[in-house]
Amino acid sequence: MPKHVLIWDLPLRIFHWLFACTVIASWYTSDQDNDLIDVHMKLGYFALGLLVFRILWGFVGTKHSRFSAFFPTATRLRLYIEDLKNNQVKSTAGHNPLGSLMVFLMILLISLQAISGLFINDDVFSSGPYYDSVSKELEQFMFFLHHNVFDFMIAAIVMHLLAIAYYVRVKKQLLIIPMITGKKPENLVKITDKIKHSKIFLAVLLVIAITAFIYWLVVVNAPVIEEYYY
């Protein structure tokens, strides 16, 4: 059996699986019929925290988690598409250039969804903490985003899953297990691709700081909303 080397750090893997579960749970709890809108809002704050973590980790995380390692530049995309056409794609240690487009798209769409949630209300009893503290036009725009971005998000997630299935089934690339264990077989990656450790201490510090920031954002700094339901 080939030796395995660490590629995906532990904080990134925890982020990925928590993010996937949070997005699915946010969707489930958004249905007014389930009467779980309060849970939905808490999950939304959690998703915001995860997004802030992922964005910071994209600058200070380990090698393959950094945005600079997989930013889809025109040259990277062109070379990769040529290889794909010539059936010459090799397994990459981190995200491949096409996959990284999808990563940025998902992070962008879910950020729009979570941020817009802070400014909307459901015309019954629930409202985001910043509802009523911006202009009516901005509020309507946020409402529009929250009710429409989700369709694009679903499309992006479906494409994400189809792409993974394609690489695993057709291209015979090992992708899912490394997102769980963090490791890829030594014969598929270069020895220089290996990361030494997961930067756990830094990740814990970030999580503490982000928790404090989200608490400040949605509780301490949030304006008191006038209750005028009757």
Q: Is 112 in the site for ligand HEM (CB under 6 A)?
A: no
Smallest distance, Å, CB 26 to ligand HEM? 4
For 199, other C-beta atoms within 10 Å of its C-beta total: 20
- Interface residue with ligand HEM among 5, 41, 189, 203 (CB under 6 A) is 41
CA dihedral 208, 209, 211, 214 (to 10 degrees): 180
Instruction: For the segment 125-164, give every residue that binds ligand HEM (CB under 6 A).
Output: 126, 128, 146-147, 150, 157, 160-161, 164
196 neighbors 7 (Cβ within 8 angstroms): no
- Interface residue with ligand HEM among 10, 14, 27, 202 (CB under 6 A) is 27
- Interface residue with ligand HEM among 93, 106, 109, 189 (CB under 6 A) is 106
9 neighbors 195 (Cβ within 8 angstroms): yes
C-alpha 107 chain-centroid distance:
5
> Which SS3 state, helix, strand or coil, does residue 133 take?
coil
CA dist 191 and 185 (Å) reads 10
Q: Is 93 in the site for ligand HEM (CB under 6 A)?
A: no
DSSP 170-229: TS----HHHHHH-EEETTTS-GGG--S---HHHHHHHHHHHHHHHHIIIIISSPPPP---
Exposed (0-12), middle (13-18) or buried (19+): which is 201, by Cβ within 10 Å? exposed
Binding mask 169-208 for ligand HEM (x = CB under 6 A): ------xx--x-----------------------------
- Interface residue with ligand HEM among 18, 56, 122, 213 (CB under 6 A) is 122
Binding mask 58-87 for ligand HEM (x = CB under 6 A): -------x----------------------
Q: Is 103 in the site for ligand HEM (CB under 6 A)?
A: yes
Judged by the rule CB under 6 A, the positions of this chain that interact with ligand HEM are 12, 16, 19-20, 23-24, 26-27, 30, 32, 37, 40-41, 44-45, 47, 54, 65, 95, 99, 103, 106-107, 110, 113-114, 117-118, 120-122, 126, 128, 146-147, 150, 157, 160-161, 164, 175-176, 179
